[in-house]
Each structure stands twice: as C-alpha cells, then as structure tokens.
Amino acid sequence: MDFVTAQGNNFTTSANNMIEGTNFIANSTTMIASSVPPLSRYENQKRRDWNTFCQYVRNHQPPLSLPQCSSAHILEFLRYLDQFGKTKVHNQNCPFFGLLNPPSPCPCPLRQAWGSLDALIGRLRAAYEENGGKPELNPFGSRNVRLFLREVRDFQSKSRGVSYEKKRKRPSSSTNNNKQKTSMAVDGGDCGTGRCATFCGYRNIGNDN
C-alpha cells in the first residue's frame, strides 16, 4: 500500500510539473508574441494598398501578371481609382472652376485627390521592391507616372482654387540672433582689433593667403 501511495504521489508530482512546464511554455510564447512590435499605421496602409493593386492585377482583362506591369498599367490603375474618389474637381467650363468654396453643388465629378494619389504611389513603389521587384524596373517610379501626378496636381490646384506649394518656414528670432552674433565675431565686432574672431575660432578667416 505504501508503495502504491508513493507511486501515486510521484505521479501527482510529475503531473504537476508537466502542468507547470506547459504553463511556462504558454507564458513564454505569450511573452514572445507580445514582444513583437505591431506594424505602424504606414506599414498597415502599405500592405492594404499592395493587396488592392494585386487584386486589380488578378482581375485585369486581358490577363496580367506583376512582372508584366508597365507605367501604362499604373496609370490605368490610378484612373480606375477615381471612381472611389471623394474630392470635387471642377471642369473648366464649370462656373465654380477655381473657387475654393463653391456656393452651391455642381455636377462635376468626384476624383481622387492629388495628395492621396501621390502618397499611394510612394507606398506602392516601396512595396514593389519589398516584394522582390528590381528598383530599376519599378513601374511606380517611372517618368510617365511622375508626369501624370504633376498634371493632376496642377489641374486640381487650378480647379479647386488651392495651392499645393510648400510654404517656406521663416527663421526664428533665435536663429537670427545667432547669425548676428556670428557675424560680429567674424568682423571683430566692437573689439576693433578682431580678437573676438580669434577667440571664437575664426583665426584663419581672411588669412588663407
């Protein structure tokens, strides 16, 4: 009886050890899974864009494969996306052409905004190379695609009365003060003899000859 009891105790102890070991493995797996950082918003969007383009290629008629894609197919894809656009782009004969805030609705079509298309091409260009495409053969970076995006930007800018030009940042007052101090140091400032320039590390300025 004692032998049976001992065996039972040993079995219980072994079972407990197995359960504890299983829990350890499960916890370790959870820790490893949780330690993997989640994809950024950009990476998630890039993956969705690439899947959308691949679906477009699979449904293309006549049949098309990724290695066969050229800049013409990319432009075709961008025009296809216009049907899902939400940006009002006025035609040249529309009375609201060039108005930022039209006073009433008009029958002009909805299009994809230039900024959305530009960002989309950037993500697809990166995804193409990440999925094995050669940079020199990347159709998303072709000249025709760049020209198309430029034309879309220029026309939408005129049509919607908006400017896509980047505004230059004015230098801050602290930057201007630093420039003035540096100029005084180089010119000698109020020292008269230019010793401030030597002290500030400009000893060789003007003495290159």
Mean pLDDT by 10 residues, the chain (209 residues): 46 46 45 68 97 96 93 97 96 94 94 97 98 95 98 96 72 55 44 38 39
Q: What is the pTM for the complete model shown?
A: 0.63
Written out in words, the top-level CATH class of the domain with range 41-160 is mainly alpha
| Residue range(s) occupied by CATH 1.10.150 in the chain | 41-160
Closest CA to 79 of 164, 151, 141: 151
Question: pLDDT tens for residues 63-115?
Answer: 999 999 999 999 999 999 999 999 999 999 999 999 999 999 999 999 999 99
Per the CB < 8 A criterion, the answer to whether 114 and 156 are in contact is yes
